[in-house]
Amino acid sequence: MDITSQTHYTNNKKRLAKIICFLVLLISTVPIIGLNSASAEEINANMYAPILYFEGQETCFPIDATYHIDNSELYVHDGKTSTLIDDTPTVSELATYTESTFFLDNAHGSSKDANSIISHYQQTKDDYDIIVYYHQSNQQGKTILQYWFFYAYNNGELNVHEGDWEMIQLIIESNTPTTAMYSQHHSGQQLNWAEVDTTSTHPHVYVSRGSHANYFRSFSGKLGIASDTVGNNGMILTNENYQLVELSDQEWLSFAGRWGEMQPVEDTFLGFSGPFGPAFRENGNMWNNPVGWGENLPELNTSLLPVEWFLYNFVTIFFVITALSIGLLCFRLYRRSKDHGFGPRFFSSLYIDGVNVHSIGNILFFAGIAVAIIGLTLPWYSISAAVTIEGYTTEGFIDFLSIDGLNGAQIAYPGANGPIAIGSFILPFSLIIAIGFVFTFFKAIGVQKSNVLGRTYLWRGISLIIPFIILLIVIFSLGSIIPSMVSEDMGSNEMTTLFSSLSQNPISGSETIALSDGAMSGNVDMIWGLGTGGYLMLLAGIILLTGGILLITARKTFY
């Protein structure tokens, strides 16, 4: 195969990998370096130097990028194998490698061995300065002031890799900032300057633990598939703690390879390969077209900030509400015991006396619990795919996304060691549902009238059905949301076809995506739908609703 055909084949394989990986991550490289022309008005980088807030368990902080060069070996990757070029590369040597096939591999560990690299970084970080790189350029009559941060390792919840480059930028017009733009994984967010948290003229940047994605609020990050953990309970870095260094003066800036070990194609687009440097990230757009890159970022939806705050504090809120509910329930039970006792059967759910309405209602309650317990252990919803193309084939269908009561939401992909948990809730669904059933049992103690007990069953049944209604609404809306987020090189036509079918048939469906692009041809077969566990949970909710209605209509006094 000649060089042109091989390049075409490799590009198509990358494109396919993007399509596959986007199904579960929804994330978005041969760039051309070009330094933007300087602004007519130079801005003092110290004036807007960011204040970085780290989460309390963060292990890696901004460092001189030469740390990575000094501790890495230089390789070249030909699409199949990696070949060592130099085990002690120098800065001047790196500047000569202007192809994306090269990469710096940390000699003290691998991309999937976080402990070794982080341990070495911790032991040697004091030998290097804490550095924030800045770069100023002018585009469309606007001054763009960028601040770049290099981290030794990315140890995020959803992906890990050697080296990590992140950035924030400010758009300045007439010497006044108008917009702040923060990078997050392969995308980011933008926010009007007036709404940015600041101290004097210094923007606050809340850095997520491990992944180092940048956020505008200390409680953000949970409303998304990455499930980043952000906080302001750790180290705080200001321009008094770090050095500001001009990025354009760095000789290694023209190195076009990756700052970390390179992984297979499917792992690369899931974030397991090292990143490209500042001049080459996101196809070079962050450097060559900063205004265009920033304007394409979604704006921070401030109306969702209360939701983010709730998700960030969900565990605390959940246990506080649970504790208050236990206290209130105990008080009610105490009052009930003083007023009329708990009756001869203690649990009013045990009033089953032959074939009558209230007895059938109570029988349905126990049946609903049994069905729900079984449903918790089985899949609720899944999206699976089987790939059959030239040069890449999966072994049957793979559950890229699965949701159940015990593990919550998980993703899996070819080459992974196992499914990865995603989502915003720390507690498994099973625990939340189990606590709800425990409350239902205690509320049934000493209830005199069947209509009171029936309302308890009724609300418990509704609580089992609501999550699935929300899930189906979200899936239904994907058809209009996702295609608009996908660029042409990630397969916008294929994504439109897939998610249109998904949203039109959220309960169950299938779709075959045919690929016929040059040297790459084949099919990607997709299937999705509610699993057995999902149907059982819905059935349990319906059974409890029916039992509650029967008890309400029975109007029976138990004792």
Q: Which helix (H) or strand (E) holds 94?
A: helix 91-94
Dist CA 409 CA 391 (whole Å): 30
Nearest to 52 by CA among 202, 250, 265, 256: 202
What per-residue confidence (pLDDT) applies to 57? 95
Mean of pLDDT values over 490-503 = 67
Mean of pLDDT values over 532-550 = 95
Q: Tell me the pLDDT band of 107, cut-offs 50, 70 and 90.
A: very high
Q: Over 104-148, what HEC string results?
A: EEECCCCCCCHHHHHHHHHHHHHHCCCEEEEEEEEECCEEEEEEE
Dist CA 67 CA 153 (whole Å): 11
Mean of pLDDT values over 454-481 = 82
Q: Tell me the pLDDT band of 28, cut-offs 50, 70 and 90.
A: very low
DSSP string, 76-88: EE-SS-EEEEESS
Mean of pLDDT values over 8-19 = 49
Positive or negative, the Cα torsion across 544, 550, 553, 557? negative
Query: Which range has the worst mean pLDDT, 224-228, 312-316, 421-425?
Result: 421-425
Do 414 and 264 meet the contact criterion of CB atoms below 8 Å apart?
Answer: no
Q: Are strands 236-237 and 520-530 parallel, antiparallel or unpaired?
A: unpaired
* Cβ neighbours of 210 (radius 10 Å): 25
Tokens of 531: 């699993």
Q: Tell me the pLDDT band of 26, cut-offs 50, 70 and 90.
A: very low
Residue the block writes with tokens 């205004």: 291
Q: In the predicted model, is pLDDT for residue 31 greater than 90? A: no
* Cβ neighbours of 282 (radius 10 Å): 20
The string of pLDDT tens digits covering residues 201-214 is: 999 999 999 999 99
Query: Which range has the worst mean pLDDT, 4-8, 188-192, 337-341, 373-377?
Result: 4-8
Mean of pLDDT values over 17-42 = 43
Q: In the predicted model, is pLDDT for residue 525 greater than 70? A: yes
Q: In the predicted model, is pLDDT for residue 4 greater than 90? A: no
What per-residue confidence (pLDDT) applies to 523? 83
Mean of pLDDT values over 474-501 = 61
Task: Please report how many Cα atoms fall inside a 13 Å half-sphere around the Cα of residue 473, on the Cβ side.
Answer: 6
Do 7 and 161 meet the contact criterion of CB atoms below 8 Å apart?
Answer: no
Dist CA 480 CA 482 (whole Å): 6
Q: In the predicted model, is pLDDT for residue 30 greater than 50? A: no
Mean of pLDDT values over 295-300 = 91
What per-residue confidence (pLDDT) applies to 7? 42
* Cβ neighbours of 80 (radius 10 Å): 7
Dist CA 34 CA 287 (whole Å): 8
User: What is the chain's alpha carbon radius of gyration, rounded to the nearest angstrom?
Assistant: 28
Dist CA 383 CA 508 (whole Å): 10
Nearest to 117 by CA among 157, 70, 148, 152: 152
- List, in sequence order, every residue forming a beta bridge with 449; answer none if it has no partner: 557
Question: Which residues fall within 8 angstroms of residue 432, CB to CB, at 6 or more apart?
Answer: 318
Residue the block writes with tokens 């609580």: 463
Q: Are strands 72-77 and 82-86 parallel, antiparallel or unpaired?
A: antiparallel
Tokens of 260: 């970390």
Positive or negative, the Cα torsion across 482, 488, 489, 495? positive
Q: In the predicted model, is pLDDT for residue 85 greater than 90? A: yes
Opening angle at CA 431, ends 426 and 437, nearest 5: 145
Residue 422 carries which side chain, given as an amino acid letter? I
Q: Over 449-512, what HEC string results?
A: EHHHHHHHHHHHHHHHHHHHHHHHHHHHHHHHHCHHHCCHHHCHHHHHHHHHHHHHCCCEEEEE
Query: Which range has the worst mean pLDDT, 80-89, 127-136, 482-491?
Result: 482-491
% the chain with pLDDT above 90:
55
Mean of pLDDT values over 319-325 = 92
Q: How long a stretch of residues is the chain?
A: 559
Coil vs helix vs strand at 71: coil
The larger pLDDT score, comparing residue 24 to residue 303, is at 303
Opening angle at CA 306, ends 305 and 311, nearest 5: 95
Opening angle at CA 513, ends 512 and 514, nearest 5: 110
pTM of the model: 0.76
The larger pLDDT score, comparing residue 272 to residue 137, is at 137
Mean of pLDDT values over 84-92 = 94
Tokens of 104: 């710096």
% the chain with pLDDT above 70:
82
Q: Tell me the pLDDT band of 133, cut-offs 50, 70 and 90.
A: very high
Mean of pLDDT values over 280-285 = 93
The larger pLDDT score, comparing residue 177 to residue 22, is at 177
Query: Which range has the worst mean pLDDT, 180-189, 271-280, 468-477, 481-490?
Result: 481-490
* Cβ neighbours of 260 (radius 10 Å): 29
Residue 244 carries which side chain, given as an amino acid letter? L
Coil vs helix vs strand at 392: strand
Residue 433 carries which side chain, given as an amino acid letter? I
Most confident of 1-10, 313-322, 493-502: 313-322
Dist CA 226 CA 7 (whole Å): 32
CA distances from 537 to 370, 387, 460, 467, 506 (A): 10, 31, 12, 10, 17
Dist CA 443 CA 178 (whole Å): 56
What per-residue confidence (pLDDT) applies to 38? 40
Q: Which helix (H) or strand (E) holds 51?
A: strand 51-54
What per-residue confidence (pLDDT) applies to 482? 55
The string of pLDDT tens digits covering residues 361-370 is: 999 999 999 9
Query: Which range has the worst mean pLDDT, 326-330, 369-373, 464-468?
Result: 464-468
What per-residue confidence (pLDDT) applies to 36? 44
